[in-house]
Amino acid sequence: MSDEAPVISCRNVWKLFGPNPKQYLANMPAGRSFQEIHADGYIAGVKDVSVEVGRGEMLVIMGLSGSGKSTLVRCFSRLHDITGGTIEVDGENIMDMDENALIEMRRSKMGMVFQSFGLLPHRTVLDNVAFPLEMRGQDKHDRRERALEVVKLVGLEGREEYFPRELSGGQQQRVGIARSLAIEPDIWFLDEPFSALDPLIRREMQDEFLRLQEMLGKTIVFITHDFDEALRLADRIAIMKDGAVEQCDTPDQIVLNPQTPYVRKFTEEIEKSRVVHARVLANPVNGAAPEGDPVRAGHTILQLARQLVNDPREELPVANKKGELIGVMNRQEALDVLLGKD
Backbone angles phi, psi at 247, to 5 degrees: -160, 140
The answer as to whether 16 is a domain residue is no
Q: Is the pLDDT of residue 1 over 70?
A: no
211, 235, 270: which is the final residue of a domain? 270
Same domain, 172 and 60: yes
The answer as to whether 252 is a domain residue is yes
Provide mean pLDDT across the span 112-130: 86
Helix 169-182 vs helix 125-135: angle between axes, to the nearest 10 degrees?
30
Express each pLDDT in 271-328 by its tens digit.
999 999 999 999 998 877 788 889 999 999 999 999 999 999 999 999 999 989 999 9
303: containing domain: 273-339
Express each pLDDT in 2-40 by its tens digit.
568 899 999 999 999 999 999 999 999 999 999 999 999
Same domain, 112 and 258: yes
220, 254, 270: which is the final residue of a domain? 270
Same domain, 266 and 314: no
Same domain, 231 and 170: yes
The answer as to whether 1 is a domain residue is no
In the β-sheet with 295-296, what is the strand arrangement from edge to edge? 282-283, 325-330, 315-319, 295-296
270, 288, 310: which is the final residue of a domain? 270
Binned at pLDDT 50, 70 and 90, residue 159 comes out as: very high
- Concatenated DSSP letters of 271-298: -GGGT-BHHHHEE---SSPPSSPPEETT
The answer as to whether 33 is a domain residue is no
Same domain, 253 and 286: no
Binned at pLDDT 50, 70 and 90, residue 261 comes out as: very high
Same domain, 148 and 214: yes
The answer as to whether 334 is a domain residue is yes
Counted domains in the chain: 2
- Strand 282-283 and strand 325-330: the pairing is antiparallel
Express each pLDDT in 60-80 by its tens digit.
999 998 999 999 999 999 999
The answer as to whether 183 is a domain residue is yes
Binned at pLDDT 50, 70 and 90, residue 195 comes out as: confident
Say what percent of the chain tops pLDDT 70.
98
Same domain, 208 and 152: yes
Instruction: Name which of 49-53, 205-209, 245-249, 316-320 the model is least confident about.
Output: 205-209
3-state secondary structure of 51: strand
Q: Is the pLDDT of residue 170 over 90?
A: no
Mean pLDDT, the chain, as a whole number?
91
The CATH number of whichever domain residue 74 belongs to comes to 3.40.50.300
pLDDT higher at 293 or 251: 251
The CATH number of whichever domain residue 287 belongs to comes to 3.10.580.10
Q: What is the pLDDT of residue 342?
A: 62
Same domain, 214 and 191: yes
Q: What is the pLDDT of residue 200?
A: 82
Same domain, 315 and 246: no
18: β partners: none
Same domain, 137 and 211: yes
Nearest to 61 by CA among 51, 69, 53: 69
Binned at pLDDT 50, 70 and 90, residue 114 comes out as: confident
Please check whether residue 129 is in contact with residue 147, taking contact to mean a CB–CB distance below 8 angstroms: yes
Binned at pLDDT 50, 70 and 90, residue 211 comes out as: confident
Collect all residues with Cβ–Cβ distance below 8 Å to 256 and sequence separation of at least 6.
272, 276, 280, 337
